[in-house]
Amino acid sequence: MPYALRIDPSDEGRRLDKVIRSIWPGLPLSVLMKGIRTGAVRLDGKKADFAGRVEAGQELYVPWEAPKERRGESPFRRTMPVLYSDSRLWVVDKPANLLVQPDTKGQDNVIDRVRYMLRLQGDAERAYAVHRLDRNTTGALLVALSGGPLRALQDAFRERRIGKTYLAVVVGRPPRQGTIDRPLLKDPGSNTVTVSPKGKEALTRYRLLAAGREVALVAIDLVTGRSHQARVHMASAGFPVLGDLRYGDDDANRRWRKRGVQRPLLHSHRLQFDAFSGELEDLSGLLVTAPLPGDMEALTRSEGWPVPEILEEGGGKAERGS
């Protein structure tokens, strides 16, 4: 029986074939290709392109049945790119508009997606977020697959033995490099963070990678890991993240929204593992990199910035340091 659904915002910019296979992982490739080739698969009522990119809110019509729902599951299970994996941990490439853990029952989230992907592989379905990314922040997220690695990796974050580098498009032209050392205070009621002497220690370093007339691309190293740290610190320095409705520049956000900026352009680009001992010793020197998401890549290219040279040619990868 044919089925129709709306493209989820977290799938914005993904290839159509990848979206379909994430929703129907057991669908034979030949069936998928035939459905697209014959026009039986349609987007907003039009024949779909096999490698075309989808947009949030589009109606996807397919000639096969709805995804199967198991008891206790939400109806749609999705996958995500995996940047690194072993028996103890995964590093996944988190899309925008996706919570790490759900606010409400049945809400799509990173951890349930990882558990679903583990189930497809026949593995145990234990998965725990080692750290957090905001809903609309993309990129590398570390997930532990059991309690021992979870505790060890959380200790490593507290001891600053895992470096975190973000990429952000900011309003204005920052200096070539800078350090922001300002305590941050979170109001749990409003989920808002401010610079305050009553807050917790927070240290951010940034460096300018490329700049245009109105916006710039920066790399941000979070020495500490406070909530909303990159967004609040950059805004406090006079260079708010483009697209950030909470801490950003309203006028710039309005102008760039017309050009397709729909979220804060902040991306968890790199996780760098320093020296480890014990069961995680073999992770020493591991560097995991998440490629730029589609919206940030499109903006950098429209500005004429030499992105491959800046970021080192290639997509997401995991490699060992020397």
DSSP secondary structure string for all residues of 91-144: EEEEPSS-BSS-SSTT--BHHHHHHHHHHHTT-----EESS---TT-EEEEEEE
Contact 212, 171 (CB under 8 A): no
Output the pLDDT for position 314. 43
Instruction: Quote the percentage of the chain above a pLDDT of 70.
Output: 90
- What does the pLDDT look like over 102-143, one tens digit per residue? 877 767 889 988 988 888 787 877 899 999 999 999 999 999
Output the pLDDT for position 18. 84
* Cα–Cα distance for residue pair 29/15, rounded to 1 Å: 15
- What does the pLDDT look like over 232-271, one tens digit per residue? 999 999 999 999 999 999 999 999 999 989 999 999 999 9
HSE-CB of 88 using CA atoms within 13 angstroms: 12
> Is 0.75 surpassed by the pTM of this model?
yes
Q: Residue 296: exposed, middle, or buried by beta-carbon count in 10 A (0-12, 13-18, 19+)? A: buried
The number of angstroms, rounded, from the C-alpha of 90 to the middle of its chain's C-alpha atoms is 14
Average pLDDT of the chain to the nearest whole number: 88
∠ CA(156), CA(204), CA(148), 5° rounding? 15
Stated as kind and residue range, the H or E segment containing 117 is helix 110-120
Tell me, what amino acid is at 121?
Answer: Q
Full set of structural domains in the chain with CATH: 1-71 (3.10.290.10), 161-317 (3.30.2350.10)
Residues designated catalytic: 134
Task: Please say if the pLDDT value at position 70 is more than 60.
Answer: no
Ramachandran quadrant class, 212 (left: phi over 0; alpha: psi -120 to 50; beta: rest)? beta
Among 294, 254, 290, smallest CA distance to 171 is for 254
